[in-house]
Amino acid sequence: MPNRISTGETSATLLVLGASHHTSTVDRLESFARGAERLRRRFEDSWEGGSEPPIKEMTVLATCNRVEIYAIVDPAHEDTAARVIASEVFVHAASVCSDVSYQLRDADAIRHLARVASGLDSVVVGEHQISGQVTRAFVRPSSWNGEASVLRGVGRIAARASGRVRHETELGRHSASLGTVALDLARDELGDLEGRDIVVVGAGKVGSLVCSALGRAGASRITVVNRSVQRAREIAEGIGAETATLDKLPELLERASVVITATTAEEPTIDETTVKQSLPGRASAAGPLLIIDLAIPRDVDPGVAELEGIRLLTLDDVKSRLDRHMSLRLGEVGPAEAVVDDVVDAYLHSSESAEVEGLITQLRRTAEQIRDQEVGRWLGSVDGAVSQEDVDRLTRSIVNKLFHTPMVRLRGAEELNGRQTDLLSAVSELFDLSKPGEPTLPE
């Protein structure tokens, strides 16, 4: 595995500092997200001003459950960059929160991002939304020189891993939120929901999740019912739904096929009397009415379940299905991890091979330049027939030129602060030499 990320001409460090639901509370993550935005603006201002920052490229991945800064830095400036990021972003109540943030570099950072994009590090394992969030974060990273090519490449690796996990495993194919499971249960009971009237009662967090699931499923005849019409309108606009107040509920029940309710009311929002009033007005074409109650305490009077033509499912039914789905998802974690490892390892090995081949090409080019220079000088000095002495002089000159710089570096190896042994061992390995001080026997 390469120690550095290739930038084409030089090496650099991919550095990630982050905090997530594993390490931090929601209020701290919110504070970190504000710090991340400050850092991004500061970095872009520095870039526009022309002063060279310790960070060459950066992007922010900020979601409800994580705040992560990905940066490309010169290896000599790693510690400086890490301190800048920590002091600017991971601060809460005026102190740096080193205990709730993490640092990763290079290969570990790439593997981490690939796992994040694949949903393996999410609160709900296997969720898809994070993949799009990662893509958006890496499509246009900020760059000091205007060319954020390295981070874009890192983002493509994560996207490749996410795509393969989605297509080669079952990790994300079982619904894992209240909204999507409620929708699955409705399909099980009624079949295709296309053309059916669906009523969502409540515009809070759960109601919003239900509406999002309906929107993704392509449901077109949705009405959002809430005490506050404004809040209902905010959710409805995103999915092209209608809105209504609670007093319109009886007439909505007359034509609805599905009612999904999730308010925070202390008393039932849908009682037996309200449902009974709607029954005479329900045309035979409307069919049975499915009511799914996701609220705590219950939104629907239990007596409603005894009415003819009514099917009532509760939060217990939804959670039972959700538990089964999560069990299926967790069974796919191993195969998904293997896919991520395969994608990342393939990249790392290809990067390592490219780096080695590039060094070999540069080495050969340098040697050829020395040979051409020395042969040219030699041809200019030879007059008449070539003697053995002339050949010796040419080849000795080429050898001296080839080994001049390496020998100077070797003689100064004691100044390398503990790296002398590594350098000597590398030279011995590269040139297949005996141990220093021992003569090499001729073959």
Crossing angle of helices 333-381 and 149-168, rounded to 10°: 140
Do 15 and 78 contact (CB within 8 A), yes or no? yes
Q: Is 97 a catalytic residue?
A: no
Residue whose entry in the numeric block shows the structure tokens 């003689």: 411
Contact assessment for residue 55 and residue 43, using Cβ atoms and an 8 Å cutoff: yes
- Residue pair 150/144 in contact by the 8 Å Cβ criterion: no
Closest CA to 143 of 71, 57, 81: 57
Coil vs helix vs strand at 76: helix
What would the DSSP string read from start to end of 358-421?
A: HHHHHHHHHHHHHHHHHHHHHHHH--SSPPHHHHHHHHHHHHHHHHHHHHHHHHTGGGSTT-HH
- Residue of 3, 22, 45, 64 with catalytic role: 64
By CB atoms closer than 10 A (0-12, 13-18, 19+), residue 66 is buried
**Residue 364 to residue 387: CA distance in whole angstroms:** 28
**Token output for 247:** 């007093």
62 and 136 Cβ atoms separated by less than 8 Å: no
Tokens read off for 145 = 């020189």
Contact 321, 181 (CB under 8 A): yes
How many separate helices (H) and strands (E) can be counted in the chain? 14, 14
Phi then psi dihedrals of residue 61, to 5 deg:
-110, 105
Beta carbons within 10 angstroms of residue 199's beta carbon:
26
CA 79 to chain centre: 24
Structure-token match 């890496």, residue found: 138
Q: Could you give the dihedral angle defined by the CA atoms of residues 391, 395, 397 and 402, in that order, rounded to the nearest 10 degrees?
A: 170
- Catalytic residues, by residue number, are 64
